[in-house]
Structure 1
Amino acid sequence: MKADIVIVGGGPAGLAAAIAAAEADSSLDVLILERDRELGGILNQCIHNGFGLHTFKEELTGPEYAARFESRLSELNIRYMLDTMVLNVSSDLVTAVNSTEGVFDVECGAIVLCMGCRERPRGALNIPGLRPAGVFTAGTAQRLVNIEGYMPGKEVVILGSGDIGLIMARRMTLEGAKVKAVCELMPYSGGLKRNIVQCLDDFGIPLLLSHTVVDIKGKERVTSVVIAEVGPDLKPIPGSEEEISCDTLLLSCGLIPENELSRACDVKINPATNGPVVNESFETSVPGVFACGNVLHVHDLVDYVSEESARAGRSAARFVRSSVDPSGAVIQIRNGNGVRYTVPSFVRPDLLEDNLTIRFRSGNVYKDSYIDVVVDGNRILHRKKQIITPGEMEQVILKKTDLSASTGEILVEITEN
């Protein structure tokens, strides 16, 4: 089997990348390989609204947002294969398997990795206790309620204040459950401020910062959990334990980019994001292999996923159409004070489409601080923000003209003055 571009994953990133590649050159044969039984990825179970404010200037639910892209996919006659698991990726070959074709290879000119991310399970958290029923990741509970039609439990404690955990606190409440508390290990929430307000505050659900679960009680089914306050070292403080009766514990303790395929084909991984290191075109360290969406770094807004993925799709189309000269100037992007990482990690000014968007997350909460961008020692951006939190992605947009003469590096940092 052959295709010009293979998109691995049919979620929001894969859909946007495929559409952008086909729109860039209608003669290209674009193929999406999706392991689930339908396109749309995680959007299918996100029935709450709030999607599309940037992309479509209106509030949509997750399925409505996905449907807009699926309609465009149909208009462009883009091929896709469902229930198809990709087994291996190299620079010009994708190996996959499904029930009709068996194991098969797809020869291609470019690959876009759009595998998304997965939740951190209980096994990665080292919570003591037996293995009773009633312990779910928040995303699993969301699928059970919104797609499968099952109610995970009636009395709920949530560990972790990521956006999925916050949204499930509201969802479980609306379905008749009692959410007794949301515990967060860090002294700040990992979710968007609007979700804290709309999902917790509006329903009177307490958010316990600097708290964690230290024990799960129950043999056949969860009967209670023991929570404790943690100190600055994030270790439980003796004597602060409190037992809360419940039959369900939901875990919302972070997302991990799904990069087993990336590592297998020797793509360089950024340890801060657990996603590939990419340039301004979202091309990885392997020429012709691109990455976008949550497989690259975990996003808070799907609109940003679509925007980045569209650029990755156009870049893949350009790579297939014509050879790209990699011999031009390369500027490294360095994360300075308060910045955990930047995407992209370096930029080739000659190959920029227009302006450069750099997205990043902070490593802590900062109030009344500034986002600074320094190019070759000269500060070209100094923007004040009332609050900067790790739960909300930040971005800066630099003009191409500001970078065209650069020979050094771009520094992104957070300063107090």
Structure 2
Amino acid sequence: MNAIQTALETRSSSLLDVENIRADFPILGITVNDKPLVYLDNAASSQMPRQVIDRLVHYQTKQHANIHRGVHYLSEVATSEFEVARRKLQHFINAREEREVIFTSGTTEAINLVMHGYGRKYICAGDEIILTTLEHHANIVPWQMLAEEKGARIRVVPVNDAGELLVDEYEKLFNERTKFVGVTHVSNALGSINPVKEMIAFAHARGVPVLVDGAQAAPHTAVDVQDLDCDFYAFSGHKLCGPTGIGILYGRASILEDMQPFKGGGDMILSVTFEKTTYNTIPHKFEAGTPPIAAAIGLGAAVDYLSGIGMDAIAAHEHALLKYATDQVQSMPGVRIIGTAGQKAAVLSFAVNGVHPHDIGTLLNQEGIAVRTGHHCAQPVMQRFKVPATSRASFAFYNTLDEVDALVAGIRNVQKIFT
């Protein structure tokens, strides 16, 4: 099938009215260097629809107050809206209870919360923590800090040349000292979708809890934490059409109840004396201080928006974009795709012979095309594939085939300049 046939079939089979969806995103109408913006940096941060922007403005102009601390009208309204947002997130990931949803500043804080609250309490000298080669630094560095503090050891699951985890090697890493597993659901650098459900089941059969970094999965596919049976699941709002500075940690209630708080302060206590502090119930035990109230409410609006479109429809459209882009790019002489897993999310990392990724990004930007260049906070992945960095195009449901064509044309222009 040639590229034209593929494009025609993709257009005819799309489940989304992409043009109407794009009208919801004011920023997609801007120009960059006198060219229409082609925004392909969604793995770093997605754009925000008008519905979320309007909800933020409504809160700031009609409902703003501090929560959980007042009996006046605005405080009660703000508290109610904040907790409504928590329930929306509960339903979005199918958590059993709303108290299993903890608001954080993002995936990074969520993982650090687990490291401090669970790891520092239960990981001891000689214990082992299993991570994977595909992890973002946010799911490596906290565990290294813990291992150094406790005298524990990090074990790492390798990947094959396609960027797929070697599950047999993962299973071989388990022994009586294995006490924790941290695994990304989707690689931010390669787009590889990991078999996390099977990995969780294997770990649980050996009594080992599992944290899943869902930052790159939650925006692109339906997440069901009960079906996955994970102990922790973390993701960020700004990657799924929500505000920055907000994220979610899902935790199994029975584990959260036994964990120690990450931060101390107001609202995470029941009583305080200089002799003793009694901690609040979950989730409040882990939400010290004034939370990002507006951002949480905005995130609730974002999951409403995504759910209204349908996560299955979003996944199907993005898969079609990825397939079309992959077919186009892999046929280009002198261009190498980094990460060719059989199961991928809408991430296309590539290298162009003789051209540094930063030069690629700069030249594409001159055409109004936004991609991410660098090591993507995943230096072990770069080391595994023997590249200093890659250029990464990452797609969202509001992207189009025409934008993929613009990317391909831009890469060709880069090659012409450097030949």
TM-score (norm 2): 0.31
Structure richer in strand, relative to its length: 1
Q: Say which structure, 1 or 2, has more relative contact order (CA 8 Å, 6+ apart).
A: 2
TM-score (norm 1): 0.31
Structure richer in helix, relative to its length: 2
